[in-house]
Structure 1
Amino acid sequence: MNQPEDIPNGGGRYVWVLSYNGPVEDLNTDLISSASFAEALGLWTPPATEAVEWFDLAAMKDYGFARYLGEASGFDIGEDAARLDALTGVVVMLYSTGLKDKDTRLSPEPPFALIGRYGMPIDLPPVVGIETESAKGQLAQGKPPKSAARISGMVATVVLIFLALFVAAFVWIGG
């Protein structure tokens, strides 16, 4: 059995890279969603199938597995580039987005072996203000909402006009 790996609960995005000692044809969505897969990884429940990726590294020899993890996927691989590119065989990538909350530890057993855990950098680039001509100025402001006093005044005006017409009609009829 491999050394267990605690699953961080900080909300960051992580990927666990595992080697698989078997043919890539054996890996499929039925296996990934099964209880035996979860048990082999030491998880309580199977991960979401869309959060598991697997392939034979021979298929990406030209591109490089370290480049795939670092550049294409955005994970911080640190100084592991040479080690990741030296891997051969089948790898399984397990993304933290597919793990359930009660899974707190990853303990893979054969035919799986843990290669490493990689996280996405938390540092966000600073927001840079827009300095173009079209970004200057203000947006047109809408009308402010009518106050209760204004609405009361409008109702009183309508009532007074109605009373004036009513009195004028009686004067005309009586006259």
Structure 2
Amino acid sequence: MVRGVRGKWCGTLLLAAALAVGGASGCGPEVPPAPGGPPSGPTAPSAPPAGTPSTTTTPASPSQDTPSAEVLVEVVVNGGLAGVRNRLVVHDDGTWTVRSGTRPPRTGRQTPAETAALKAALEDPAYARVPERPAGGPIADGFQYYVTYRHRLVVADDGDRPEALRRVFAALPEGGPPTSP
């Protein structure tokens, strides 16, 4: 009997506190949050977890990368005597952006024929057979190239560039992978 009165008293206090605050009573089907996790139930915030990309779109400003097409290929170049880390992104429509260190990005557009040549080099069955990793060790002060096409990453260096990869490099904007600091 003491247990029943105590439980009733606790429920009454919770209800009174909830009415005073204007929130939920704390009683009912809500599940308490896991330790360290977000609260659950109707009072939980609706913000996405940290690191989740936002789905809100904002008008583009000239300084933002707002490509009108899907990424066709991405080439990242690391190394060299100057220790560069450059990134080239080419889109299906031929637009491209190069980021080199802290310098402002360079942008441009390939002609339809140049874009077609790049697509042909990437879709060549010989390119599909290019090993994903170089066979030998890295060359001292040489460049490493990370080429991503259709979710496949190919890593190459200055000493190990098969002919099919050289054809892809020759079809890239500005004469090949961005190696200048």
Shorter-chain TM-score bucket reads under 0.3
Which protein is richer in strand relative to its size?
2
Q: Specify which structure has the bigger relative contact order, considering alpha-carbon pairs within 8 angstroms and separated by 6 or more residues.
A: 1
Normalising by structure 1, we get a TM-score of 0.21
Looking at CA atoms only, which structure, 1 or 2, has the larger radius of gyration?
A: 1
Which protein is richer in helix relative to its size?
1
Normalising by structure 2, we get a TM-score of 0.20
